[in-house]
Structure 1
Amino acid sequence: MVRESGSGSSAGHTQGESVWVPTPDGRRLHTMVLAGPGDSEMPTVVFESGAAVNRSMWALVQPLVGEWARAIVYDRSGYGRSAPDPESRTLARMAADLGAVLDHFGPGPYVLVGHSAGGPIVRTTAAANPERIVGLVLVDPTEEGQDVLFHPVVRRLERVALAALRLGARLRVLPWFYRSTVTPLPPDARQDMRREGFTLQAMRTFTAQQRTNLDELAEYRDAPPDLGELPLTVISGGRGGNGVPRSQRPVLNALHAQRAARSSNGRHVVAARSHHYVLLCEPELVADEIHHLVEAAAHR
C-alpha cells in the first residue's frame, strides 16, 4: 500500500490519508482514507463521485461516516490526482477501476455510495462482484429511465456545454464560475477542488466519458445490472437546480422511487432542502442514511 509522506502529505486532512492504488494496466488511482474506529466487523464505505468531479465533493459526508467506519474516496482516472486513462472511459472501464480500488483494500464487505453519474458506476461494480457488497446508497443518481437524457436536442446542448467547459478550463475561469458550489466544502477540500477540479485534463476526461456514457446508459434500459435483493437506498433531491431542471425533478424522483421499490430491501428518501448536490446541502442526511443501511444489513 503506497502512502504519501513528507512534503505535501495529507496528514491532518479532512478526508484522511492519501493512498495510491495500482490498476492491472499500470495506472495509479489516488484515494484518501479515513480509518474509522477500527471495528473489523463494520463494512468499509467507498464513495463514487459524479460525472466531472473528484473526491473533494464528498468532504462533508466522508468525515461523518469516518466516525464509525473506514471511509474511502478516490479520483477516477483523469480527475484530481489520478493520471488519465489512455483507453475509452466507458461505464465498464470506470466500474473496473472502482473494482480495483475494492480489490486493493481487501475482500470487504463494502457499502458503495454513488452520486449522480456515479450511481450507474456503483450499480455496475456491485453487479459484477455482489458477494463483497452489502448495500448501495445512490444519491440523486442518474437514471436510464429519464427519457430527456437521450433527446437529440439535449445531446447537442451537451456537446456545446462540453466545449464551453474546455474553453473555461483553458482560460482558468471555471473556479470562479463554480465558486458558490464549492463554498460549503471544508477549507482544505475546497482548496483541493479549486486547484485540481477544474483543469483542462479534467474537462478532457469528462468529454471522453460522455462520448460513450449515454449510449451505454441507454442499453441499461433493456438490460440493467442485476442487483438482486441487495439492500439499496436512493436519496432524491427535493428541489430542482444544479443539473436537474425544476420540470424534471418530479420525473427523476419518481424513477428513484421505482429504483428503490425493485428491491425488497429498498428505501427511498427525499432530501427536501436539497437540489442535485444533496451531499453538499444535507450531508448529515446522507451520512445518516448510509448508517441506517449498514445497521439494517447487519441485522438481516
Structure 2
Amino acid sequence: MAAMTSWDTVETPRDELVNGANGAHLFLRARGAPRQPGEPVVIFEAGLGVSSATWAAVQRLLDPRIRSIRYDRAGYGRSPPSKNERTASNIAAELLDVLRAAKVQPPYIIAASSFGGIIGREFLAAAGQEAMAGMVFVDTAHEKTAETLRFPHQAIAFLLNGRDYFEAIGFFDDCALTPEEIQQFKDDAKEPTAIPTADGEGINARESAATLGERKQFDAQILGMKPVIVIRGDSGQDFRRMLKTVAGDEQDADTIEYTNDVKEFISERLDKLDRACQMEQLKLSGNSRFLQAQKSTHAVITTEPELVAEAILDVWQRSISGKLF
C-alpha cells in the first residue's frame, strides 16, 4: 500500500511496499531515528543480482542517529518486477519516484555497492546535485570499469559449471550477516523474478555505463565539495577462491584454457588496474577520501560492515558540519 505519512518522521523499524506516482513499486526498510531538520537520509543501493539483504549488517551497525533506507530493486526480494528496461537510469528513476511517494525528502546520501555505483550516480543525475549530501562507494563499478578490466564472463560461467557463485567463492564463510540475514539473502535469491531481473540488468549494463559516461560527472566534479568516500575491497580473492573450488574438475582442454583466462585476468588486469579504476571516483568531489579494506574480498559490506558503517557516519557528520577531509 502507498505510504500516507512521511517515512522521515515515523518510528522505525518500518518495512513496507510503497507505490510511486509513476508506477514504481518498491519494498523499503527504514531504520534509525526520525530525521531532524537538515539531516541527510542514507539510501543503500545493492549490486547486480542481489537484494538489499546484502546491506543488512551495515544498516544494523549504523549509528542509530542516522535515518537509513534500504530497498529491493524491482524484481528482487519483496519488490515486484518492473515493465521498464533494466537500465541504471530507469532503476534510479523508479527509486526517486518511490522516495517522493514515501515523502522522503532530500538531502540524500547514497551508499552503493558493486554495480550499484552506476545506479547511485544515475540517481544523482535524476535527483540533482542539490539533492545530494554525499556518497559512499563500496567496491563499485563505474562507466569505465567493464572496458578497463574486461571480465572473462564466459570463462567464469564455464568453470562454475552450474555451481552457485556465492558458494564457490565462500561468500557465507566469513560474512558478518546473522543467520536470519543469511536466510533472507538466500530466500530473496530464490524468488522466481530474481534471475530474469539480474539478466536484464546484465544485458543493459553496457548501455547503462555508456549513458553514465555521457554525463561526464568526473570532468564536472559534479558533487562540488560534498563528501565522498571510496572503499575498495580485493575482488581478486573471490576469483582465486573460485579457481580453488573448481580445481578438482576434469582438466580437459577447455577447462585449462578458461582457467588460464581467469588467471591472466587476475594478474594482468584486476590486480594491476582495479585500484586506479576505483580511485577515479574520487574525481566526483573536491572533498573525497579513499579507503582500502584490509580483510575483504569484493563483498566489503558483508565482511567489514563496521568499516562501511563508520565511513557512512563520517560522510553524514561532514555533510552537516561542512568539515573537509
- Tell me if both proteins adopt one fold, taking TM over 0.5 as the criterion: yes
Equivalent of residue 57 in structure 2, options 55, 60, 72: 60
> What is the one-letter code of the residue matched to 2:60?
P
Q: Deviations over 1:136-159 (max 9, x none)?
A: 1011111222354685x846558x
> What is the one-letter code of the residue matched to 2:237?
G
Structure 1: gaps (5+ residues): 4-14
* Bigger shift: residues 215-224 or 174-183: 174-183
Determine the C-alpha separation between the residues in 2 that align with 1:250 and 1:125.
Answer: 30
CA positional deviation for 1:27: 4.0
- Give me the CA root mean square deviation: 3.0
1:203 corresponding residue in structure 2: 195
> What is the one-letter code of the residue matched to 1:288?
E
> Does residue 212 in structure 1 map to residue 204 in structure 2?
yes
CA positional deviation for 1:177: 5.6
Structure 2: gaps (5+ residues): 4-11, 241-264
- Asked if the contact 1:102–1:108 (Cα under 8 Å) also holds between the matched residues in 2, the reply is no
> Does residue 138 in structure 1 map to residue 134 in structure 2?
no
Determine the C-alpha separation between the residues in 2 that align with 1:147 and 1:106.
Answer: 33
CA positional deviation for 1:202: 0.4
* Bigger shift: residues 268-277 or 223-232: 223-232
2:308 corresponding residue in structure 1: 286
1:264 corresponding residue in structure 2: 286
- Percent of residue pairs identical: 27
CA positional deviation for 1:214: 1.7
Distance 1:102 1:186, change over 3 A: same
Distance 1:117 1:132, change over 3 A: same
Determine the C-alpha separation between the residues in 2 that align with 1:148 and 1:26.
Answer: 34
Q: Deviations over 1:73-102 (max 9, x none)?
A: 100000001001122111111111221233
1:181 corresponding residue in structure 2: 172
Equivalent of residue 110 in structure 2, options 109, 112, 120: 112
1:10 corresponding residue in structure 2: none
Alignment of 1:247-258 (within 5 A): 247=267, 248-258=270-280
SS in 2 for 1:184: coil
- Asked if the contact 1:54–1:193 (Cα under 8 Å) also holds between the matched residues in 2, the reply is yes
> What is the one-letter code of the residue matched to 1:68?
R
- Asked if the contact 1:58–1:73 (Cα under 8 Å) also holds between the matched residues in 2, the reply is yes
> Does residue 241 in structure 1 map to residue 263 in structure 2?
no
- Asked if the contact 2:107–2:132 (Cα under 8 Å) also holds between the matched residues in 1, the reply is yes
CA positional deviation for 1:46: 0.8
Determine the C-alpha separation between the residues in 1 that align with 2:286 and 2:166.
Answer: 43
> What is the one-letter code of the residue matched to 1:228?
L
> Does residue 90 in structure 1 map to residue 112 in structure 2?
no
Determine the C-alpha separation between the residues in 1 that align with 2:192 and 2:223.
Answer: 40
1:228 corresponding residue in structure 2: 223
Of structures 1 and 2, the one with the larger relative CO (CA 8 A, separation 6+) is 2
TM-score, normalising length: structure 2:
0.76
- Asked if the contact 1:29–1:76 (Cα under 8 Å) also holds between the matched residues in 2, the reply is yes
CA positional deviation for 1:272: 1.6
> Does residue 79 in structure 1 map to residue 76 in structure 2?
yes
- Asked if the contact 1:239–1:273 (Cα under 8 Å) also holds between the matched residues in 2, the reply is no
CA positional deviation for 1:127: 2.2
* Bigger shift: residues 135-144 or 186-195: 186-195
